[in-house]
Structure 1
């Protein structure tokens, strides 16, 4: 009996290993493809594709390779069982049950019934929920006493809540600006102490730069943060796993490249071309020197997106389950 159980266990493991349905399918982007069309064809969501593939833009290029995540639901066919579906989608039976608490009898699913397919725990966000016409504006590298106050005034005048990923050393230098960000209802995230490329850091160095920044944020605002954005968008997979214990890592789907001297018109063009429900827009609230036109572009950006029906929300709202 023990030998039979071992054989059955090996067979199941083998089935999970060789069954291509237990892994993400793949797709090569064709001319004219959009993220929305690909998600609809594969019965999944745009944000799941964007986050699985770490997409820094909603615009796709011909020949681009995409992994397609599991569908969000499955219509039961004759012969389906919860166990067979767990094998098909590469998840455990216990997770399938947990995602389908509406089912009274797990042994008796029937053709035509809709079964939820759980997704793996999200470790990094490039895009938020796409079920509503919402966008998150985010600002990195501050606070400072020049651009940050101007940005805050625009947001207040326009009635917009945003998300600020702040650096520890600048938070310490400009505590009043950080207090204002918090008091006006914006979300605050951790952007390390002094903007290193964290892929060059040891785990101990990473922990130090992140935790010292979170401590400074809490000391100034009285609030903890569980949001983190890596400088330059650079982060190793094992660092994601390490930070995922306490933080939600947040990237972006629209890069204005405002730090690179882009004109207000170029910033607006980049946002409008990539705008779609769930996008996270990257901008900055600090710039050391040279051309920087975020403050000039921001009021028009808000007005133009609102005219298209978009609502502005913080990252926690955009990514909440």
Structure 2
């Protein structure tokens, strides 16, 4: 009897150990790119051309309930679409350079984005910068970010999830009151190509209804979760009145940077270029502490800050 008892205990220990290893893999912090803290397309990939995976962001991790999951080991049901357009999922990555020129983008991707009113960069001959923040949850830094932007007279864009509006209504109202753009980052942060047309409408309209009730304002800009899109999602969201807003410069800033605020600062300044559309995550202490210095030194190099309205309207 004792022999069988020990065998059972040993079996349980093996199961526990295997579960721990699996959990560790599922929750591993994403590896940093070899180019410091700047996010770029993985080696060998072209931006937007395939289903390359972008490292998970904190808001994505928290709002993962919106993603279709396997049921009983089976893949999710086929996505219901009405447009007849391609639903091949593309990730977002940038092939950057170190000479302060705009990153490369294949002409086919550029033309598709333009066809559906999507933006990722400004004009190559204008020293302008568009500053944007993604807000999945509040980590205590947004009030300071807003203080800095107000003191430096910069208007930025904040892309918020439904969770953020629910949990931080006063900060959202402050963004609007101080002249910032508030954009849609969906209700539950799903990968849009993975859900049907009706679900996309619900994801966007739920957020815009909450935002309108809170502020009386409308939403016109969308940051697709994780930068994942398809021709179908570009077309459908444009029909719903949105411009998809991607980026030309982003950081691995949802985890603490080894170099702290100095690394955040250098990552932006070393990769600054005309028309830069910068994505920062407001959960980052490093970004927040470097922000004022960034803004002042960006201006010192002759750049001016403009809004997404300026970008889309060609001002």
The reply to whether TM is greater than 0.5 is yes
CA distance in 2, matches of 1:174, 1:54: 28
Q: Secondary structure at the match of 1:274?
A: coil
> Equivalent residue for 1:34?
none
Matched, 1:265 2:262: yes
Which residue does the alignment assign to 1:317?
A: 310
The alpha carbon displacement at 1:182 in A equals 0.2
2:220–2:242: 8 Å Cα contact kept in structure 1? yes
> After superposition, where does 1:138-157 map in structure 2 within 5 Å?
138-142=132-136, 144=138, 146-157=140-151
1:123 to 111, 117, 125: 117
User: What are the superposed Cα offsets for residues 36-84 of structure 1, whole Å, 9 maximum, x if unpaired?
Assistant: xxxxxxxxxxxxxxxxx976354289xx986448xxxxxxxxxxxxxxx
Equivalent pairs, count: 215
Q: Which residue of 1 aligns with 2:290?
A: 297
Residue ranges of structure 1 left out of the alignment (5+ in a row)? 1-52, 70-89, 91-118
3-state SS, counterpart of residue 263 of structure 2: helix
Secondary structure at 1:182's aligned position in 2? helix
The aligned residue for residue 189 of structure 1 is 183
CA distance in 2, matches of 1:211, 1:252: 23
Q: How far 1:194 sits from its partner (Å)?
A: 2.3
* 8 Å Cα contact 1:254/1:270 also seen in 2: no
In structure 2, relative to structure 1, the CA distance for the partners of 1:173 and 1:250 (3 Å cut) is same
Aligned to 1:173: 167
**Aligned counterparts of 1:140 and 1:242: Cα–Cα separation in 2:** 22
| 1:142 shift after superposition | 4.7
Q: By how many angstroms is 1:144 displaced?
A: 3.1
RMSD: 2.7
Structure number with the bigger relative contact order (C-alpha 8 A, sep ≥ 6) is 2
CA distance in 2, matches of 1:133, 1:65: 17
> Residues 120 and 312 of structure 1: is their aligned pair in 2 closer, same or farther, counting only changes over 3 Å?
closer
Pair 1:66–1:56, CA change in 2 (3 A):
closer
Structure-2-length-normalised TM-score: 0.62
Query: Structure 1's 212 and 138: CA in aligned 2 closer, same or farther, altered over 3 A?
Result: same
Q: 1:236-269: CA deviations, max 9, x gaps? A: 2211111111100000000022113222222222
Task: Looking at secondary structure, tell me which structure has more strand per residue.
Answer: 1
Deviations 1:284-312 (A, max 9, x none): 1236xxxx311111111111101101111
Contact 1:258 1:294 in 2 (8 A): yes
Match of 1:308 in 2: 301
Partner residue, 1:59: 97
Q: CA deviation at 1:216?
A: 1.1
CA distance in 2, matches of 1:227, 1:55: 20
Partner residue of 2:280?
Answer: 283
Residues 191-206 of structure 1 mapped to structure 2, 5 A cutoff: 191-206=185-200
Q: Pairwise mapping of residues 1-321 of structure 1 onto structure 2 (< 5 A)? A: 56=94, 58-59=96-97, 67-68=106-107, 121-142=115-136, 144=138, 146-245=140-239, 246-262=241-257, 263-286=260-283, 292-321=285-314
Work out the CA distance in 2 between the residues paired with 1:57 and 1:301. Answer: 23
Residue by residue, what CA displacement relative to the aligned partner does 1:134-165 show, whole Å, maximum 9, x if unpaired?
10110002563721111100101111110111
Q: Give the direction of change, closer, same or farther, for the CA distance of 1:304–1:197 in structure 2 (3 Å limit).
A: same
Using a 3 Å threshold, how does the CA distance of structure 1 residues 67 and 256 change in structure 2: closer, same or farther? closer
Residue 142 of structure 1 contacts residue 148 of structure 1 at CA under 8 Å; is this kept in 2? no
User: Structure 2 regions of 5+ residues with no counterpart?
Assistant: 1-90
Q: Secondary structure of 2:264's partner?
A: helix
